[in-house]
Structure 1
């Protein structure tokens, strides 16, 4: 494979393009990739770059160092004193924008998690991803009520969607540390691999997904996110409209031909 194209090379969030895979990398390892306002602004900028780059078929989200993301930057929060409410108000707006950008991105988002994914930041990013691959060291913690706050980053909606309302209530109110095997059994994550294999396994998974038909991937992602709120009866007409629209694309013709000819399809996003 050719060398990755470096799109954002400095700051708290890095971005590179590996063929059809955009690698978005949280880059504050000394702060456990905690999310303060500058980091959230960088994250939004990187996601917007992915939105605007037609070559991006899949986004791989990773974190530098021992932890994926420890949530909000508690040291920054603690130092704000009386200014904390206003700082949190601004930070929450940026965090919500980042989560919304992930969900509305056409490209599926794969998160590779090692160490802690905690708080509205870490857990929020996990629950907004479409696929989550975790190392054996991964730990998941909601954490908001532990510091007398409430869930943010959409967790009050996305977490019950993944693990069910009863388990989500327990996780949000009692703040248990959920280890990778339990997270897998709950449906919070997609698979567990050895820590030493995490980055390579996640990139290989992303590159395999990126070989799919991009419009079909985007449409399926949208149906999955919107269908939960619609219910089955309301979702089926939208599915029908989506499939009919996709059947106008050249990728569908290529996919059908590849099945008949017993070969690998070559999708161009057209």
Structure 2
């Protein structure tokens, strides 16, 4: 029996950890079985129980993720406790995504609303298409953001633009989302999933230790002074230069061959 035998929405595709965060079964609203399975897998990845070199977030169905299941909210006997519990489950997942050292790629096709938009903002690279649309969706039902949107969105678009998008509950086209930096880039609508998988596979074949260092530097940059960041960069690049990936990359450059970062 393998780690993935009991996980219906998480699987390894080569070195890519694929997590389905929404399915057709619940109208592409956020699937909390997938989220919980994703949290379990990401914790195992961080602990070294399983091995993967990138993470891919996908929606199975017409949309990446159409937000929370509002009908379930309405039917809950204690709405506050119910929604708060769901938010806690989602936030465990977001914390694990943030802690994951390997690159996280999102294949954003169709709609990404509410928590779906939050997960787009949590990815390192998000691929969308011309028909991709994002929307906060919280004000439309009288709610406030979850999934880290109130933290991540201002860091992507700036605090003033984040206020506008959240308060007006704006529908953001794929083109606008790419311009604002919420999507990394656009491809054809029928190419989104394939391109996101290609990017995830390319990253999985790359210098993982370099990516770890890059993500750590970026994570601390918002709280560091320039001088502190320069010191961190000095320490980081010195470690990289002595690492197996750093040695292979430099040697390959000098020898005029393609670097082989497999396992590094």
Same fold (TM over 0.5): yes
Q: 1:36 to 1:110 in 2, by over 3 A?
A: closer
- Are 2:111 and 2:134, in contact at CA under 8 Å, matched by a contact in 1? yes
- Are 1:36 and 1:76, in contact at CA under 8 Å, matched by a contact in 2? no
Distance in 2 between the 1:41 and 1:30 partners? 16
Match of 2:65, SS state, is: coil
Residues 36-66 of structure 1: per-residue CA shift (max 9 Å, x gap): 6544323312322433355311111111000
Structure 2 segments unaligned to the other structure (5+ residues) = none
How many residues end up aligned between the 2 structures? 262
Of the structure 1 ranges 91-100 and 32-41, higher mean CA displacement relative to structure 2 is found in 32-41
Cα drift, residue 23 of structure 1: 1.7
Match of 1:230, SS state, is: coil
TM value normalised by structure 2 = 0.91
- Are 1:60 and 1:111, in contact at CA under 8 Å, matched by a contact in 2? yes
- C-alpha RMSD of matched pairs (Å): 2.0
Residues 108-159 of structure 1: per-residue CA shift (max 9 Å, x gap): 100001111111x101111110000012221100111221111121111100
Match of 2:66, SS state, is: coil
List aligned pairs for 1:97-136, cutoff 5 A.
Answer: 97-119=92-114, 121-136=115-130
Match of 1:247, SS state, is: helix
Distance in 2 between the 1:79 and 1:53 partners? 39
Cα drift, residue 27 of structure 1: 4.7
Match of 1:263, SS state, is: coil
* Residue among 226, 232, 245 paired with 2:226: 232
Q: Which residue of 2 aligns with 1:184?
A: 178
Q: Which residue of 1 aligns with 2:155?
A: 161
Distance in 2 between the 1:66 and 1:231 partners? 44
* Residue among 8, 12, 21 paired with 1:17: 12
Residues 85-109 of structure 1: per-residue CA shift (max 9 Å, x gap): 1112211221111111111101110
Distance in 2 between the 1:160 and 1:232 partners? 21
TM value normalised by structure 1 = 0.89
List aligned pairs for 1:1-270, cutoff 5 A.
Answer: 8=4, 14-35=9-30, 37-51=32-46, 52-53=48-49, 55-81=51-77, 83-119=78-114, 121-270=115-264
Structure 1 segments unaligned to the other structure (5+ residues) = 1-5
Q: 1:171 to 1:23 in 2, by over 3 A?
A: same
Match of 2:83, SS state, is: helix
- Are 1:14 and 1:27, in contact at CA under 8 Å, matched by a contact in 2? no
- Are 1:60 and 1:112, in contact at CA under 8 Å, matched by a contact in 2? yes
Distance in 2 between the 1:61 and 1:174 partners? 27
Distance in 1 between the 2:224 and 2:138 partners? 29
